[in-house]
Amino acid sequence: MATRSLFWFRRDLRLQDNPALLAALDAGEDCLALFVMDLDIAERSGPYRRAYLADSLHELDAALGGKLAVSNGRASEVIPDVISRYEITSVHAAQSFAPYGVADEAALAQQGIDIEFTGSGYAVAPGRVRKPDGTNYRVYTPFFRAWMTHGWRAPVAAPKAPKFVTPKASDRSIPDWQSPVGGALQKAGEAAAHTSFESFIKSGLDSYDVNRNIPGIAGTSRLSPHLRWGEIHPRTILSKLNQSSAHEVFRKEIAWREFYADVLHHYPHTDTGYYAPQYEAMRYDEPGAKFIAWKEGKTGYPIVDAAMRQLVVEGWMHNRSRMIVASFLVKDLHVEWQHGASHFMNYLIDNDVASNSHGWQWTAGCGTDASPYYRVFNPVEQGKRFDPDGDYIRKYVPELGHLPGADIHEPWTLLDGLSHGYCERIVDHATERLESLARLEEIKAAKELPPNQRA
DNA sequence: TTTTGAGTTGTTCGA
DNA sequence: GTCGAACAACTCAAA
């Protein structure tokens, strides 16, 4: 009897270092490569996310010799249908740990579809790193140590002479979504991922510890979208790192991604829910005009506005900027973190639920290892410190292009500062910082009330 | 079980 | 301008 396997491409749009793909090719005389496109999700995604995914799928299809099947729908409907139409004898995939993927797996299992899972998008699969007593870590540093001790397998090579099934024309719905006119979308795909990584090794990695915090220079790896879609596997990256301190700082960033995936795995409600539940009771402001100003990059705080505009024109934002704008939304505008997280998810091409939700919760003070409550980012100080010459701001906020150097951080102090179309500050930071601290005092006090008197 | 040390990313204030 | 201390208390991990 003939064997034909199905490989379900999910967040692993690559051929190299893909053990699940090797398992699929081993299991069949030929193999159908399938990506399942949920158009409902795509509909709700921002333009850059869509364009990036389309680009990545085209790259993958080319690498497969034009044999990538793409079918629209939900995995729980598409996969059983494909199994019967192509007479599939075994199904293979990497395991997912994000809420959507986990739901797909459960729905397929319920229908009795047997999937052989091999590996995950992490060096160490979520749930594997445990304390000696078997429970999960809730603090990063001990997690990191245990993760290092746990270790991970070496990368594996791309398949040699794979035999893929030619899909029917009706299963070739590879979208042609384009990025918005004038936007600057990062190149997607496995080849681009390796090009990015190699150029980062050559010119960025050894100074990563110093340069990664300066949004105005290209000091970061730009690997986040590639990791998001699995165009490169983290263990491929880890295998190239040495023991130097710059490399160690970068390794720790990879570990943060793994830590947050582990936390989300153990507390699945924290994708949109509070990790620290007492913060739910805090007084927040409804997102209104100020929230819109934040989204549009019109808060009157140059570093915040530059960052928010970078997000909209590139589908990406520097990590330092993410913290600054997140702090501003939560602590200066008193808007709940979920509104900001959702805006990020729509625009970011590296939109990862675990990293995004927990990054936001860290800033908001309600996450794991959260920032102390009294730590409120000062957008002017952050600008002066991390964009000292204002290069980053001038790149994204042309209204301030006429201001030299450090003058750019406080345009309201200059006589003609507001005469070039730049907006006035929507709030006063010093005032809102105190307001934020006062609201935090309220939930601290509330915690001490007996349960029947709590709000 | 108890104890102890530690904990991504900062700001402000006063000397 | 620079520097160190204060900003709290709590939870977590590990001995």
Report pLDDT for A429. Answer: 94
Q: Is the Cα torsion angle A203, A205, A208, A212 positive or negative in sign?
A: positive
Per CA to C1' distance, which residue is closest to C9? Answer: A372
Buried b (16+ CB within 10 A) or exposed e, A371-380: bebeebbbbb
The CA–C1' separation of A211 and C3, in angstroms, is: 25
Query: Helix A289-296 to helix A337-347 angle, to the nearest 10 degrees?
Result: 30
The single residue listed with the structure tokens 């501003």 is A328
Give, as ranges, the nucleotides of chain C with any atom within 7 Å of a protein CB. 7-9, 11-14
What does the pLDDT read at residue A453? 38
Q: What is the pLDDT of residues A52-98, one digit of tens each?
A: 999 999 999 999 999 999 999 999 999 999 999 999 999 999 999 99
Q: Quick check: A26 and A20 in contact, CB under 8 A?
A: no
> What's the full length of chain A, in residues?
455
Count of other CB atoms within 10 angstroms of residue A257 = 20
Q: What phi and psi values does residue A305 have, to the nearest 5 degrees? A: -70, -40
Residue A445: the pLDDT is: 65
Does residue A173 form part of some domain? Answer: no
Dihedral angle computed from the Cα positions of residues A38, A44, A47 and A49, in that order, rounded to the nearest 10 degrees: -50
Range of the domain at A426: 271-445
Percent of chain A scoring above 90 in pLDDT? 84
Tell me: pLDDT of A271 over 80: yes
Q: Is the CB of A140 under 7 A from strand B?
A: yes
Are residues A346 and A292 located together in one domain of the fold? Answer: yes
DSSP string, A200-233: HHHHTGGGHHHHTT-TTS--S---HHHHHTTSS-
Q: Are residues A3 and A103 in the same domain?
A: yes
What's the CATH code of the domain at A364?
A: 1.10.579.10
Is residue A438 domain-shared with residue A403, that is, in the same domain? yes
Q: What is the pLDDT of residues A14-58, one digit of tens each?
A: 999 999 999 999 999 999 999 999 999 888 898 999 999 999 999
Q: What is the CA A121 to C1' B1 distance in angstroms?
A: 40
Within 7 Å of a protein beta carbon, the nucleotides of strand B are: 6-12
Residue A179 within any structural domain of the chain: no
- pLDDT value, residue A415: 66
Q: Between the CA of A227 and the C1' of B8, what is the distance in angstroms?
A: 21
Residues A211 and A279 in one domain: no
| Range of lowest pLDDT (A201-215, A268-282, A407-421) | A407-421
Bridge partner list, A36: A71
Q: Residue A30: which CATH number? A: 3.40.50.620
Nucleic acid strand B within 7 Å of A35 CB: no
Between CA A393 and C1' B2 the distance (Å) reads 53
Number of structural domains chain A divides into: 3
Q: Does A335 lie in the same domain as A234?
A: no
pLDDT tens, A420-439? 789 999 999 999 999 999 89
The integer distance in angstroms from the CA atom of A398 to the C1' atom of C13 is 49
- Which residues in chain A, range 119-138, keep a C-beta under 7 Å from any nucleic strand C atom? 131-132, 135, 137-138
In a domain, A28, yes or no: yes
Task: State whether A101 and A198 are in the same domain.
Answer: no
**What pLDDT was estimated at residue A447?**
54
**pLDDT higher than 70, residue A452:** no
Domain boundary among A266, A292, A310: A266
- Is A146's CB less than 7 Å from nucleic acid strand C? yes
**DSSP annotation of A278:** G
Is residue A373's beta carbon less than 7 angstroms from any atom in nucleic acid strand C? yes
Q: What is the spatial distance, in angstroms and rounded to an integer, between the CA atom of A299 and the C1' atom of B11?
A: 21
- Structural domain includes residue A451: no
Query: CA–C1' distance A450–C7 (Å)?
Result: 27
- As a whole number, mean pLDDT of residues A386-410 equals 92
Q: Is residue A164 part of a domain?
A: no
Sequence-separated (6 or more) residues with CB below 8 Å from residue A193: A14, A223, A226, A231, A232
With a 7 Å cutoff on the CB, does A144 touch strand C? no
H-helix or E-strand spanning residue A20: helix A19-27
Cα separations in angstroms, A328 against A271, A315, A340: 21, 20, 10
Average pLDDT, chain A: 93
- Residue A184 · residue A222 · CB < 8 Å: no
